[in-house]
Structure 1
Amino acid sequence: MIELRTPAEIEQMRPAGRFVADVLAATAAAAKEGVNLLELDRLAHDMIRSRGAESCYIDYHPSFGASPFGKVICTSVNDAVLHGLPHDYRLRDGDLLTLDFAAAVDGWVADAAVSVVVGTPRDEDLRLIDTTRRALAAGIAAAQPGGRIGDISAAIGAVAHAEGYSVNLQFGGHGVGRTMHGDPHVANDGRAGRGYPLRPGLVIAIEPWFLQTTDEIFTDPDGWTLRSADGSRGAHSEHTVAITEDGPLILTAP
Structure 2
Amino acid sequence: MNIVIKNDVDIEKMRVAGRLASEVLDFITPHVVAGITTGELDKLCHDYMVNVQGTIPAPLNYAPPGYKPYPKSICTSVNHQICHGIPGDKKLKSGDIVNLDITVIKDGYHGDTSRMFVVGEGSVAARRLCQITYEAMWIGIDQVRPGATLGDVGHAIQKFAEGFGYSVVREFCGHGIGTKFHEEPQVLHYGRPGTGVRLEKGMIFTIEPMLNAGRREIKEMPDGWTIVTKDHSLSAQWEHTVLVTEDGYEVLTVSEGAPAKPDIAALTA
Say whether the fold is shared (TM-score over 0.5).
yes
The one-letter code matched in structure 1 to 2:176 is G
Alpha-carbon shift at residue 64 of structure 1 (Å)? 5.3
Q: CA RMSD in A?
A: 1.1
d(CA) in 1 for partners of 2:174 and 2:59?
A: 16
- The one-character-per-residue Cα deviations of 1:115-157 (angstroms, maximum 9, x if unpaired) are 1110121111111111111111111100111111111111111
d(CA) in 2 for partners of 1:199 and 1:7?
A: 14
Alpha-carbon shift at residue 246 of structure 1 (Å)? 3.0
Counterparts in 2 of 1:139-158, with a 5 A limit? 139-158=140-159
* Residue number in structure 2 paired with 1:170: 171
Alpha-carbon shift at residue 56 of structure 1 (Å)? 1.1
Counterparts in 2 of 1:94-243, with a 5 A limit? 94-243=95-244
TM superposition score normalised by structure 2: 0.91
* Residue number in structure 2 paired with 1:34: 35
- The one-character-per-residue Cα deviations of 1:41-65 (angstroms, maximum 9, x if unpaired) are 0111111212221121111112453
User: Structure 1: which 4+ aligned runs deviate by more than 4 Å?
Assistant: none
- The one-character-per-residue Cα deviations of 1:147-174 (angstroms, maximum 9, x if unpaired) are 1111111111111111111222110100
Q: Tell me if structure 1 keeps the 8 A contact 2:50–2:57.
A: no
d(CA) in 2 for partners of 1:25 and 1:208?
A: 21
* Residue number in structure 2 paired with 1:62: 64
Sequence identity (%): 38
d(CA) in 2 for partners of 1:247 and 1:22?
A: 24
Q: Secondary structure at the match of 2:167?
A: coil
Q: Secondary structure at the match of 1:198?
A: coil
d(CA) in 2 for partners of 1:52 and 1:198?
A: 33
Q: Tell me if structure 2 keeps the 8 A contact 1:28–1:99.
A: no
The one-letter code matched in structure 1 to 2:96 is D
The 1:21–1:55 alpha-carbon spacing in structure 2 relative to 1, beyond 3 Å, is same
Alpha-carbon shift at residue 8 of structure 1 (Å)? 3.1
Alpha-carbon shift at residue 33 of structure 1 (Å)? 0.5
- Residue 50 of structure 2 corresponds to residue 49 of structure 1: yes
Q: Tell me if structure 1 keeps the 8 A contact 2:151–2:195.
A: yes
The one-letter code matched in structure 1 to 2:217 is E
The one-letter code matched in structure 2 to 1:103 is V
Alpha-carbon shift at residue 201 of structure 1 (Å)? 0.4
* Residue number in structure 2 paired with 1:71: 72
TM superposition score normalised by structure 1: 0.97
Gaps of 5+ in 2: 256-269
